[in-house]
Amino acid sequence: MAVFLQALKETGARCGEAFALKWTDIDTVSNTVNITPEKGSNPRIFKISNKLAAMITNLPKKTLKIFNYKNTFYLRKTFIKQRRRIAYKLGNLRMLQIHFHTFRHWKATMEYHKTKDILHVMQILGHKNINNTLIYTQLVNFQNDDYVCRAAKTLNEASQLIEAGYEYVTEMESLKLFRKRK
């Protein structure tokens, strides 16, 4: 379940698109995943994190498909049971509002916040019509976000920070400063 949810988070794929992933859709050398579209969407290729690539690689290869559930009904049923257990354990009933499709909305919102490019978001979601993309993108004010700050002295340190998702901010006292949202 953790691998499936991480795949939804990183790709913004529909539940059915992620569920249909085959081992041949994953390239662990270049860390990419090939999404076969649903609902008349466009096919997409996503760069995935080392974390997700490792998680997928560690799954048992029992069938042609990566996620070894009979169908999405059983996958959803498992998710609902785990979500309910965690929500009550943590005392956070808002977690019950999270669905597989919530990850798609989150991905669209984060990409739009990062790029301010609705056409880029449209391409990521595989939409053919911009009006569909507008439904997914939420206008969120991130003005008061907290950031983690890191400094790099060398080119190698700067490269590692960029690969870890940090963005360059400025240079001070011969150090390059980077930040990433918490």
Within-domain flag for 142? no
| pTM of this structure | 0.74
Verify that 169 and 125 share a domain, yes or no.
Answer: no
Residue 176 pLDDT > 70: yes
CA terminus-to-terminus distance, the chain: 24
pLDDT digits (tens, 9 = 90+) for 44-56: 999 999 999 999 9
**Shared-domain flag, residues 18 and 65:** yes
Three-class SS of residue 38?
coil
Question: What is the domain range of residue 162?
Answer: 147-181
What percent of the chain stands above pLDDT 70?
A: 96
Q: How many folded domains does the chain comprise?
A: 2
152 and 124 both lie in a single domain: no
Check residue 142 and give its pLDDT: 57
**Model pLDDT for residues 84-135, shown as the tens digit of each residue:** 999 999 999 999 999 999 999 999 988 888 888 889 999 999 999 988 888 8
pLDDT band at residue 137, thresholds of 50, 70 and 90?
Answer: confident
Q: Tell me, yes or no, whether 53 and 128 share the same domain.
A: yes
Residues 130 and 152 in one domain: no
Q: Cα–Cα distance between 138 and 63 in angstroms, integer?
A: 38
Is the domain of 171 the same as that of 124?
no
Q: Are residues 128 and 159 in the same domain?
A: no
Mean pLDDT (whole number) for 3-24: 94
d(CA 73, CA 120): 31
User: Amino acid identity, residue 8?
Assistant: L
Shared domain check, 120 and 159: no
81 and 8 belong to one structural domain? yes
Q: Does some domain include residue 73? A: yes
Residues 132 and 169 both lie in one domain: no
133 close to 121: Cβ distance less than 8 angstroms: yes
Question: What is the CATH classification number for the domain harbouring 31?
Answer: 1.10.443.10
Q: How far apart are CA 126 and CA 12, in angstroms?
A: 10
| CA–CA gap between residue 13 and residue 36 (Å, rounded) | 9
Both 80 and 118 in one domain: the answer is yes
Same domain assignment for residues 23 and 71: yes
